[in-house]
């Protein structure tokens, strides 16, 4: 534990972990994950961002990602440990703004158009961005997640955080966010340059 961590702990300060992970999946079979992602987004909006509802959606998403591990291609993560709730909130907002501005990361939460054709181009690339803030220590998220084993442990840690009631903020973004949109290999490199092959 760093000296600053020991000092803050000694004075009873709350430790906040803010972590964002990126996971890139590829393959024509990743489309069902878009269904999970859009359902989670709709549920969160309908529940006015209720943390319990969002946490359940996050658990479903993490379990879905773990089931689709054969399609994982690349990943990365970033984050920080903060000792002020306000600073942690500011950092979460900063990551939200960045993720929301990523290519094609805004879902369409409206009802499907009955006149739209049912056959849509199938996306091959999908990038999922998960940002969480929690209290305490989370060794499985406070490390480099750009390996298969570390990402697996990180996703399981997020599930556990929900069940422990430790989550204070949850954000989920994904690209492409709408059925029919496509994220090409070139757009992937251009808009997610930090991804590291797994």
Check residues 7 and 155 and name the one with the higher pLDDT: 155
Which of 72-101 are b and which e, b meaning 16 or more Cβ less than 10 Å from the residue's Cβ? bbbbbbebebbbeeeebbebbeebbeebee
Indicate whether 118 pLDDT > 50. no
* 67 is a domain residue: yes
Q: How many domains does the chain have?
A: 1
pLDDT digits (tens, 9 = 90+) for 45-78: 899 989 999 999 999 999 999 999 999 999 999 9
* 142 is a domain residue: yes
Q: How far apart are CA 174 and CA 186, in angstroms?
A: 17
* 55 is a domain residue: yes
Check residues 82 and 181 and name the one with the higher pLDDT: 82
136 DSSP assignment: S
Domain of residue 156: give its range.
Answer: 3-110+120-192
Instruction: Look up the pTM and report it.
Output: 0.88
CB atoms < 10 A from the CB of 147, how many?
Answer: 13
pLDDT digits (tens, 9 = 90+) for 158-198: 999 999 999 999 999 999 987 778 899 999 999 999 999 99
* 133 is a domain residue: yes
125-135, strands of its sheet edge to edge: 167-175, 125-135, 16-26, 72-82, 196-197
3-state secondary structure of 58: helix
* 76 is a domain residue: yes
157 — pLDDT class (breaks 50, 70, 90):
very high
* Element at 59 (helix H, strand E): helix 51-67
Indicate whether 6 pLDDT > 60. no
The answer to which of 50-54, 88-92, 116-120 has the lowest mean pLDDT is 116-120
For 5-12, the CB contacts below 8 A with 24+ separation are 5/81, 8/83
**What is the overall mean pLDDT for the chain?**
88
* 41 is a domain residue: yes
* 197 is a domain residue: no
* 8 is a domain residue: yes
Check residues 118 and 162 and name the one with the higher pLDDT: 162
List beta partners, residue 82. Answer: 16
12 — pLDDT class (breaks 50, 70, 90):
low
């Amino acid at each position: 534990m760093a000296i600053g961590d020991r000092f803050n702990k000694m004075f009873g300060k709350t430790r906040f972990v803010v972590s964002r992970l990126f996971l890139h999946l590829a393959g024509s079979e990743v489309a069902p994950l878009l269904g999970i992602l859009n359902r989670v987004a709709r549920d969160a909006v309908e529940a006015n961002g209720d943390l319990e509802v969002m946490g359940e959606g996050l658990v479903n998403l993490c379990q879905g990602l773990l089931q689709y591990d054969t399609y994982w291609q690349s990943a990365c993560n970033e984050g920080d440990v903060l000792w002020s709730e306000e600073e942690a909130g500011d950092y979460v907002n900063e990551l939200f703004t960045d993720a929301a501005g990523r290519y094609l990361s805004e879902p369409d939460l409206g009802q499907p158009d009955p006149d739209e054709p049912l056959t849509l181009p199938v996306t091959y690339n999908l990038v999922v961005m998960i940002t969480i803030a929690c209290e305490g220590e989370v060794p499985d998220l406070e490390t480099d997640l750009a390996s298969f084993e570390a990402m697996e442990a990180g996703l399981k840690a997020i599930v556990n955080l929900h069940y422990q009631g430790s989550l204070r903020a949850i954000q989920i973004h994904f690209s492409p966010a709408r059925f029919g949109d496509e994220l090409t290999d070139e757009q992937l490199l251009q808009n997610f340059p930090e991804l590291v092959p797994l």
